[in-house]
Amino acid sequence: MTDFAGKNVLITGAASGIGRLMAQKAAARGAKVILWDINQPGLETLCEQLERWGYVAAAYQQCDLSDRADIQETARRTLAEHGPVDILINNAGIVSGKPLLELTDEAIERTFDINTLALFHMTRCFLPGMIQKGSGHIVTIASAGGLIGVPRMTDYSASKFAAIGFDESLRVELKRLGHRHIRTTVVCPYFINTGMFKGVKTRFSFLLPIMEPDEVANKIIGAVEHNKARLLMPPFVLALFPTRLLPPALFDEVVTFFGINHTMDDFKGRDG
């Protein structure tokens, strides 16, 4: 079991969505939460809320996760002020929701900077402290979109495919290097009912529901506590694995039948 009580838990993208909910749930378990986000007012509001609720004092750092230098400097301050991080939850992510030819170069690069490259920079900053302590937990919030690509998600899906590969390689690398007490968890949820994916739709909601944020946050925290290496939500997402054995044309037909290829047709996102 990974115990949150008395641990330093760093969560990126903590000012809103499931990042905010995970911070609340980690704090309720006795963790000292260290909150990172580019949205400083949101961080301040969350810290004030946690203190009102009587939890261990939270700390926050404003950071632009698309900027490697900012990540490294913010990590330096975090380590100096709070010591090693015990549980790192790489949660921050963005989505464009546009066809490939409508994406700007800058939008594509920003998606990979935040969804993928930040995983490397964050882990490289905080993994040495975990190795020195002989324990730790690194959580990668990926996506079911990292298991299957759909229209209007070329940049997002590619970035999340990379996130899953990052976690898998890191997991086995840590074992090969003898760091078996440093755990990893990768999380692949279907769409979540937050502003990030406003407007998405599902054809068979009993199989692939648009998930509620509180339920997702609870499952993630539970998966970390129980050292689950992989969490797929909802269970039907597991069906994506065997369909990969189908010929591509048949695979595309199956995915279209379940409505997955039309999920982003009415996407609006946070600015919609």
Catalytic residue of the set 55, 60, 156, 190: 156
The single-letter DSSP state of residue 230 is E
Nearest alpha carbon to residue 36 among 25, 20, 54: 20
> How far, CA to CA in Å, does 185 sit from each of 86, 141, 170, 206?
14, 8, 10, 26
Q: State yes or no: is 156 an active-site residue.
A: yes
Burial (CB < 10 A; 0-12, 13-18, 19+), residue 207, is middle
d(C-alpha 235, C-alpha 4), whole Å = 26
Secondary structure class of 103 (helix, strand, coil):
coil
Burial 30-43 (b: 16+ CB within 10 A, else e): ebbbbbbbbeeebb
Residues marked active site are found at 156
